[in-house]
Structure 1
């Protein structure tokens, strides 16, 4: 097998009249938490691969700016994933305006950094509602149409907290660990009907939020880098490109996986 660059793969596809397996032309992707950070990066990468993307969040101004930064393949829709009963109506609205949804990326979430003994039941429940129940509600709402189409892709954005213990984030860890179980259960139920279900577990990624947090805690930054074999933080586009792969025909036989995008942090010592 010859060695290929990304350009080489595309060239080979063209020479052999194969559709490039990493293209997403004709797909419609709904991305929650799409206005900033990883959601926006995934939107950019999916649109670059040819998909139409609908960025979802609670702040219209941020979503509009994000969609404009991506270009004509992007639009936005305001929705609060905590409003569980509104999920079916929201999905119907998106499909009425844009057509069948073929990709749903459950990325919206909130963070809570607090010792376990100080985390109240209300705080714990709020984190679980946003991550777990919000993702389930949207997945449940979009799945029937995907079943009728005989194809679709559900993607959950998990975390390193899904894979190993991190102090002071008990509610967040519980929520992201629940994603792992949801992915495996949904994959067994939905994959026979053509719907693939996967997750990405990002490592430490260079975002505005992480930059501010680590700039104030150099010891934590050094600890992270010391246990990451690649010795650096990832970029948001690293997660975006992984999302393109998992949602593309290149991953047509991939379902039920949790893909770390972490520079090796989850296997480093």
Structure 2
């Protein structure tokens, strides 16, 4: 296949914004918009532009600076439905796929790669995942005994 594949790595807060990362969030949001625009403009020449937004991936560099004591790692993992941090190897596999001919029809995509963290923390009712089986049984009983619903 002719053409080229370009891949940018940004972050999940490029889309949503976040406290304490204004310069980074702004710059990475710009990178995402640029890649989408380039995909539209240069796709006709066989050029593909995609973005990966990694969530928490334990790397020596990031975690040694952001969580040097390891105090926040469990809190981070608790926000991820998959129940673990991502790995560098998983990120590399996704990047290799997006740059390969197997992904030749993927262009202008921004792929969230976060174990489901974003959908868990942004959902209105996601805190219900902490409800115990006994509590669910009580709720179900109350609902079934309510007339007209």
Q: TM-score range by the shorter chain?
A: 0.7 to 0.9
Q: 1:152-171 CA deviation, whole Å, 9 max, x = no partner?
A: 01111111121223211100
Distance 2:18 2:67 in 1: 16
Match of 1:211 among 53, 56, 63: 63
| Matching of residue 170 in structure 1 with residue 9 in structure 2 | no
Distance 2:21 2:63 in 1: 19
Distance 2:107 2:35 in 1: 9
Query: Which blocks of at least 5 consecutive residues in structure 1 are unaligned?
Result: 1-148
Distance 2:85 2:18 in 1: 17
Contact kept in structure 2, 1:238 and 1:261, CA below 8 Å: no
Q: Secondary structure at the match of 1:177?
A: helix
Question: Which 4+ runs in 1 deviate beyond 3 A?
Answer: none
Distance 1:226 1:253 in 2: 35
Q: How many residues align?
A: 120
Greater RCO (Cα-Cα under 8 Å, separation 6 or more): 2
The equivalent of 1:107 in structure 2 is none
Match of 2:88 among 223, 236, 239: 236
Distance 1:165 1:225 in 2: 20
Give matches, 1:1-269, under 5 Å: 150-212=2-64, 213-216=66-69, 218=71, 220-269=72-121
Q: Secondary structure at the match of 2:16?
A: coil
Shift of residue 217 of structure 1? 5.3
Distance 2:25 2:60 in 1: 21
Q: 1:199-231 CA deviation, whole Å, 9 max, x = no partner?
A: 11111111002332324251x323321221111
User: CA 1:182–1:201 in structure 2 vs 1: closer, same or farther (change >3 Å)?
Assistant: same
The structure with more radius of gyration: 2
**TM-score, length-scaled by structure 1:** 0.42
Q: Secondary structure at the match of 2:95?
A: helix
The equivalent of 2:142 in structure 1 is none
